[in-house]
Every structure is written in C-alpha cells, then in structure tokens.
Structure 1
Amino acid sequence: MPWGPEKKKCQKEEDKVFQILIKGGWMMIPLAACSLVAVTIIIDRFMFFKRIGAAHRGEEVIAAVRQGKVDGALTIVDQGPGTDKGNPLPIMRVLSAGITHPSDPEGAMGAAAVAELSLMKRGLVALDTIITASPLLGLLGTIIGMIDSFKVVSAAGLGQPHAVTGGVAEALIATATGITIAVITLFPYNYFLSRIERETDLIEVFSTRLEMAMAKIQKEQGQ
C-alpha cells in the first residue's frame, strides 16, 4: 500500500517519543497522572460551558413577571433552550428560584446563584493545582535525575564526561514535560474563568431586573 512507509515512519516517531518520556524517570508517572486528570476535566468543562452557552430567555421571563403571569414565566424556564430533562440553564434556575419565593426573591436568587457558581467552578481547583504542581514535579524529577548522573560520574571517573551530559539531558525531560502540561492546561483554565465571570455577571443583571419587576408588581397589587 502507498501509505505503508508513512505509517511505519509515524510508528517509529511514536516509539521514539515514548522512549524519550520513559527516560524522564519515575517522576513521569505523577506527571502522566496530572495530564490525564487535566484532559478529563478540560473535556468535561468544555462540554458544560457549551451547554450553558445556549441563548437564554431571561427577557421573556421578566416580561411575563411584569404582566403578572408567574406560571407563564415558570413555563418559559422549563421550556427554554439548554433544558435537558428538567435541567434549565443556570441563569434560568436562578430566576426560577426568585419567582417561586416571592417573599424573599433576593435571598432565594442569591442562594441559587451560589449553587450555580459552585457547579461552574467544579474541577477548576484541580486544574489550578496541576498548573502549579506540574513544573515543580518536573523540576524535582530533574534534580533527582541529576543526582543520579553525578553518582554515575563519581563511580566512572572524570574520564567519561558523556556520562554526566547524557544523564542531565535525560533528567531535563521531566522539567520540559511538567512545563508543557502546565502551559497546555493554563489556556483552557483561563477560558473557563472568563466564562464563569461572564455567566456570573449575566445572573447578577437579570436577578436585579427580576427583583425590580417583582417589587413593582407587589407595589401595584398593594395599592
């Protein structure tokens, strides 16, 4: 087949990369675990923020409340975009909490917002830890590798300088791997933080507007 040589070449490159990583020492094991955890969380968070990125119907909810149609507002929440088996968007759940607690909408929406914020932040502490710890683990692996290299030199004598240079080169693999994991994880982490900030601002704006609408309705009904 025409793609046979190319496939063999790719296989050789993969084997070469694998062998280089193996030479990084036992510290590559926790680094591999960090990378696996980071990838898992990043995929989960991307899927989560993709779902809550759907266009919400907050304006319609507030309009319904202003008209005194509370049941209609709750129906909009349940039928809005992003709803999956009774699981509306975060902003819609917050508005729903305010509507269903007319005696204290501010407190209800505040509690709901805290719960939604906790859901949005899930896994980000682990990503932050990986970003900080990966370079340190890599550096620790390099230090351990260099100590082993100097032990080899002391045993072999100064007549074999390649023994220490080769050992140092292999020891630096751990540092390079740790920094790579941290850098690759940093960009999605910052993106998730920006999405959380945007969703939080959105919830705050619509919560305030809903509270004002409910206060106006209650005032009109009291007259």
Structure 2
Amino acid sequence: MFEIILSGGVMMIPIILCSIAVIGISIERYWTLNPNKVAPRTLLAQVWSWIKSNQVDAAKLRELKQSSPLGKILAAGLSNSRHGRDVMKDSIQEAANQVIHDLERYIGALGTIANVAPLLGLLGSVFGMIETFNAIMLKGSGNAGVLAGGIAVALIATAAGLIVAIPATILHRYFLRRVDSLVVIMEEESIKLVDALHTDRSVDVKLV
C-alpha cells in the first residue's frame, strides 16, 4: 500500500492531508452535533419548572447558558422576557445566530475538500502525463516501464482524489442535514418558551 501511495507522485501529499482532515472533522462534528448534547429534550421542561417555582436567577441563567447550545438560546430569551415579546424574540434570534454559526463550524471545510480533492488528483494526473511524454521524448515509445510509471502516477493520483472527495461530499451533506434538524428542534423549543411566557399573541420566532 505504501508503495502504491509513493507511486502516485507528489500530489499524494496534499491528498493524504485532505483525507486526514476529513477524518478529523467528521469525528469532531459527529461528537459535537449529538442531538442530546445540542438540544436536550428535557431542558425546556426543566426551565419551565424553574419559572413556576420562581427559581430563575443569575446563577440559574448561567447554568442554563453553559448546559448546551439550546440552553444558551433559552437563557438569552429568559434574560429579556420581562421586556416584552419582541425584545425576547430578538435576543433569541441573536443567540441562535451564534449557536448556528458554531454548529456549522468546519462543515464548510468538508465541502471545500470535496471540491478540491478531485482537482488535486487531476493535477497529479497531469504531472503523470507530463512525465510520460517526457519519457517518450527522451527514450522513445519503446520503453514500456517508463511509460507505465507515468501512467500509474496519473491513475493513482486521480483515484486517490476521488477516494477522498466522495466521502467528503457525503459527510458534508450529512452534517448540513443534521444541523438543519437541530435548528428545527431549537426553534420549536424556543417557540414553546415564548408562547408560555407571552400567550397574548401568536408566536413566530425564527432561528434562521
């Protein structure tokens, strides 16, 4: 396997680095975007129990903010709930924008790698074909070993680029979908909180 990688030429180095980045980002995002960590289903019920028992204070808000991304959004809303529905919604929106930005961290890098890796493979293929044509010019077309080496560089680099790009594309879309699902959950929970505290009008809180 190591010999095959070496025969792919110099462009195998950035392709391998891209593959390592894909693995690292995927593991980190899979761990970070755990729904139970981002938007615990029992969190809103706990917050509501605090509200009914008049336990909401600075310490509780700080605990809520640090508990999870959803907790950060709910804490922002609670902190401004006394100023009216519109102010509460604006504070939720502002906190949600920051939370969503954090949830999408590194996902764009997966998309970039998915686009760049095939180009790196193509560039490696070009280098391999250049090597082949140089060999033909210097030694003629009768040296099959030299020609095969240049063609191998071209094919291995192309294959390596695709091997990295295909899973990167799949993972990029998977994590984007997971973020979208989490945003919907957090939006629903935020709407419930606003509706519980301000029931005089319909609620239209949006996180995106």
TM-score bucket (shorter structure): 0.7 to 0.9
Q: Partner residue of 2:77?
A: 98
Normalised TM-score (structure 2):
0.82
Distance (whole Å) between structure 1 residues aligned to residue 55 and residue 197 of structure 2: 10
Q: Partner residue of 1:4?
A: none
Q: Rg bigger for which structure? A: 1
- 5+ residue gaps, structure 2, are 202-208
Distance (whole Å) between structure 1 residues aligned to residue 53 and residue 92 of structure 2: 19
Distance (whole Å) between structure 2 residues aligned to residue 54 and residue 210 of structure 1: 14
Distance (whole Å) between structure 2 residues aligned to residue 106 and residue 54 of structure 1: 18
Distance (whole Å) between structure 2 residues aligned to residue 165 and residue 175 of structure 1: 15
Percent of aligned positions that are identical: 29
- 5+ residue gaps, structure 1, are 1-16, 80-85, 219-223
Of stretches 86-95 and 38-47 in structure 1, the one that deviates more from structure 2 is 86-95
Distance (whole Å) between structure 2 residues aligned to residue 190 and residue 203 of structure 1: 20
2:169 pairs, out of 186, 193, 196, with: 186
- Alignment pair present for 1:28 and 2:12: yes
Distance (whole Å) between structure 1 residues aligned to residue 22 and residue 141 of structure 2: 43
RMSD: 2.6
Deviation >6 Å, runs of 4+: none
Q: Partner residue of 2:159?
A: 176
Q: Partner residue of 1:132?
A: 115
- In structure 2, the CA distance between the partners of 1:38 and 1:49, relative to structure 1 (3 Å rule), is same
Distance (whole Å) between structure 2 residues aligned to residue 138 and residue 156 of structure 1: 27
1:68-104 Cα offsets, whole Å, 9 max, x none, are: 74618x849837xxxxxx7312112111110011211
Q: Partner residue of 1:5?
A: none
Distance (whole Å) between structure 1 residues aligned to residue 98 and residue 55 of structure 2: 23
Matches within 5 A, 1:96-175: 96-102=75-81, 103=83, 104-175=87-158
| Matched positions, count | 195
1:20-59 Cα offsets, whole Å, 9 max, x none, are: 1111111111112211222221121122123625733244
Contact 2:108–2:172 (CA under 8 A) maintained in structure 1: no
Give the deviation of 1:66 after TM superposition: 7.0
Q: Partner residue of 1:46?
A: 30
What residue identity is the alignment partner of 1:78? E
Of stretches 100-109 and 36-45 in structure 1, the one that deviates more from structure 2 is 36-45
